[in-house]
Amino acid sequence: GVMLARLVPEEHVFVMGDNRNASNDSRYFGMVPFEEIIGHAWLRYWPPNDVGVLP
């Protein structure tokens, strides 16, 4: 599919699911304000040669 350029406003993030054909993400519900984020990534499991805890 085609991905159009988007301008992400300050204090917002653009989120995407890992399965673009079956993910409800910012392409559907828009940008997410920082204040709505309630967690953070702490583990990376892909690619397999770079699995580990994030700082």
Does residue 6 belong to any structural domain of this protein?
no
Contact 42, 52 (CB under 8 A): no
Does residue 37 belong to any structural domain of this protein?
yes
Mean pLDDT computed over every residue of the chain: 92
Looking at the structure of the chain, the number of domains it has is: 1
pTM of the predicted protein model: 0.64
Q: Is residue 1 predicted with pLDDT exceeding 70?
A: no
* Alpha-carbon separation of residue 41 from 4, 32, 38, 44 (angstroms): 26, 16, 11, 8
Does residue 16 belong to any structural domain of this protein?
yes
Does residue 23 belong to any structural domain of this protein?
yes
Does residue 1 belong to any structural domain of this protein?
no
Q: Closest by alpha carbon to 6, among 37, 31, 33, 35?
A: 31
Domain that holds residue 23: 12-53
Q: What is the mean pLDDT of residues 24-30?
A: 93
